[in-house]
């Protein structure tokens, strides 16, 4: 626990970071971490730690999905149409399926990105900073498959509205089935963060927090095969988990710093917890309104950060053979530059209303390009089906021609 962990970016993958730990001890930590992270936002322990039988498709290898909303408004012309900008995405496309005509939802950034997670384009009445009326892929997966909270995560580039992707307001779903949220500062769901903060800052805790912490420690103690049964070691585990999750994010700078952090958090998450569903929401490509060149720089950097995330999957035998990755923007951008030599989004062009959707995974076709028209809202039902769940209220349908 004493070794410095904050700034070791570079070649340090999750696997190598873990090898620094005693193996047996780490197994204990992971079990303990599962207990810790199963704690719901309201402080109640998750009721669904025992896995319920899932309707998993027959011989499929896919057990996990990483869903990246490559959002902020990104044209295909600047990604797969300029492969030098996105060598990592290009490589994934060469090994997977690329849908070149995915119709976007005609909404603002937030509503359109949310539709990736709900599979519903008509988010009537949605304000730019509110939860949507429809359930998300996180809620479908957690409710139907009985997944614990630590199996479903979303990392975002930051900003208050981004917490709204984690769950919607539908009466049969909602917060109890939401994703754990991490943003670029490594911040958990507000309530969860408060619990963690108390560990490094001894003080009088309000009663509800104290109860939450007690429960948390009790669940940690249960996972204490490796001797993690004292309050102090539980606190160490909690610190360790937070450190591991935010490892390498402090020094990320540049045009895409928020996006890069979100992708780094996701990389750390998949290495540490191997969640069933990990989502990432990017947003910084929207700098394009003011600068085309700045936008291309964000795309390039995000491609590199995505490459690191995929490398972490490739480096782990279990993840490499069981994880599907889906990358899709919420919409594109205008065909022509604006007066600031930037790109807005509002001209109704093909560049705006069609994006490329990339799918890579152990069950998918390889090197296939699908020109058939599909929709961005097809992503949510596809993700659910991959995990063995059904997006009951989604308007999209499973992407065609995906499976080998
Ligand atoms: Zn914009």
Phi-psi map region of 341: left, alpha, beta (phi>0 left; psi -120 to 50 alpha): left
Q: Determine which helix (DSSP H) or strand (DSSP E) holds 344, and give its type and residue range.
A: none
Tell me, in angstroms, the distance from the centre of ligand 1 to residue 109's CA.
Answer: 6
**Contacts for 90-95 with beta carbons within 8 Å, 24 or more apart?**
92/310, 92/325, 92/327, 92/358, 92/360, 93/358, 93/360, 93/367, 93/369, 94/366, 94/367, 95/360, 95/366, 95/367
Tell me, in angstroms, the distance from the centre of ligand 1 to residue 175's CA.
Answer: 28
Q: Give pLDDT, residue 253.
A: 82
Rounded to the nearest integer, the mean pLDDT of the chain is 79
Q: What is the pLDDT of residues 163-200, one digit of tens each?
A: 889 999 999 999 889 888 876 555 555 545 555 555 44
Tell me, in angstroms, the distance from the centre of ligand 1 to residue 299's CA.
Answer: 15
Q: What is the pLDDT of residues 345-376, one digit of tens each?
A: 999 999 999 999 999 999 999 999 999 999 99
Tell me, in angstroms, the distance from the centre of ligand 1 to residue 290's CA.
Answer: 10
3-state secondary structure of 328: strand
- Given a contact cutoff of 8 angstroms between Cβ atoms, the answer to whether 387 and 57 are in contact is no
Q: Give pLDDT, residue 197.
A: 56
The band of 22, judged by pLDDT with boundaries at 50, 70 and 90, is very low
Structural tokens at position 341: 């030599």
If you average pLDDT over residues 301-323, what whole number do you get?
97
CA-based R_g, the chain, Å? 20
Residue 2 confidence (pLDDT) above 70: no
Tell me, in angstroms, the distance from the centre of ligand 1 to residue 102's CA.
Answer: 19
Residues with CB under 5 Å of ion ligand 1 are: 286
Tell me, in angstroms, the distance from the centre of ligand 1 to residue 91's CA.
Answer: 28
Least confident of 223-237, 313-327, 333-347: 223-237
Residue 291 confidence (pLDDT) above 60: yes
3-state secondary structure of 300: helix
Ranges for all domains in the chain classified under CATH 3.40.720.10: 62-186+253-387
Tell me, in angstroms, the distance from the centre of ligand 1 to residue 334's CA.
Answer: 11
Tell me, in angstroms, the distance from the centre of ligand 1 to residue 360's CA.
Answer: 28
* CATH node for 62-186+253-387: 3.40.720.10
Q: Nearest Cα to 295, choosing from 111, 73, 113, 109?
A: 73
Q: Give pLDDT, residue 255.
A: 83
Classify the C-alpha dihedral 182-105-67-140 as positive or negative. Answer: positive
Structural tokens at position 252: 């990320």
Tell me, in angstroms, the distance from the centre of ligand 1 to residue 295's CA.
Answer: 11
Tell me, in angstroms, the distance from the centre of ligand 1 to residue 380's CA.
Answer: 23
Beta-carbon contacts of residue 182 (< 8 Å; ≥ 6 apart) = 153, 154, 155, 156, 188, 245, 262, 265, 269
Q: How many CB atoms lie within 10 A of CB 397?
A: 15
Q: How many Å apart are CA 154 and CA 169, to the nearest integer?
A: 17
- Given a contact cutoff of 8 angstroms between Cβ atoms, the answer to whether 140 and 276 are in contact is no
Percent of the chain with pLDDT over 70: 69
pTM score, two decimals?
0.78
Q: Give pLDDT, residue 174.
A: 92
């Amino acid at each position: 626990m004493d070794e410095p962990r904050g700034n070791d970016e570079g070649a340090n993958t999750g696997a190598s970071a873990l090898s620094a730990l005693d193996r047996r001890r780490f197994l204990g930590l992971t079990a303990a971490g599962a207990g810790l992270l199963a704690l719901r936002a309201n402080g109640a322990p998750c009721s669904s730690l025992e896995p319920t039988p899932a309707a998993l498709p027959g011989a499929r290898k896919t057990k996990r999905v990483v869903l990246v909303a490559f959002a902020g408004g990104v044209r295909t012309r600047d990604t797969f149409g300029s492969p030098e900008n996105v060598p990592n995405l290009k490589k994934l496309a060469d090994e997977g399926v690329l849908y070149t005509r995915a119709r976007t939802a005609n909404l603002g950034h937030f509503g359109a990105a949310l539709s990736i997670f709900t599979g519903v384009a008509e988010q009537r009445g949605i304000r730019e900073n509110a939860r949507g009326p429809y359930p998300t892929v996180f809620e479908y997966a957690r409710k139907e498959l009985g997944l614990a909270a630590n199996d479903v995560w979303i990392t975002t580039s930051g900003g208050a509205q981004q917490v709204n992707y984690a769950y919607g307001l539908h009466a049969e779903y909602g917060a109890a089935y939401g994703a754990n949220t991490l943003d670029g500062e490594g911040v958990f769901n507000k309530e969860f963060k408060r619990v963690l903060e108390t560990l490094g800052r001894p003080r009088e805790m309000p009663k509800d927090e104290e109860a939450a912490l007690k429960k948390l420690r009790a669940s940690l103690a249960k996972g204490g095969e490796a001797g993690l049964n004292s309050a102090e070691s539980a606190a160490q585990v909690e610190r360790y988990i937070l450190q591991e999750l935010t490892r390498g994010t402090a020094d990320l700078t540049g045009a895409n710093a928020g996006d890069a952090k979100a992708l780094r958090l996701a990389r750390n998450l998949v290495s540490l917890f191997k969640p069933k569903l990990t989502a990432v929401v990017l947003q910084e490509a929207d700098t394009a309104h003011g600068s085309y060149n700045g936008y291309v720089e964000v795309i390039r950097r995000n491609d590199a950060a995505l490459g690191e995330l995929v490398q972490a999957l490739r480096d782990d035998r279990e993840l490499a053979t069981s994880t599907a990755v889906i990358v899709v923007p919420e919409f594109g951008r205008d065909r022509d530059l604006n007066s600031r030599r930037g790109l807005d989004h509002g001209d109704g062009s093909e560049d705006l209303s069609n994006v490329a959707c990339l799918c890579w995974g152990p069950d998918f076709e390889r090197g296939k390009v699908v020109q058939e028209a599909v929709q961005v809202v097809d992503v949510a039902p596809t993700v659910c089906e991959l995990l063995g769940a059904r997006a009951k209220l989604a308007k999209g349908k499973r992407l065609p021609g995906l499976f080998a």
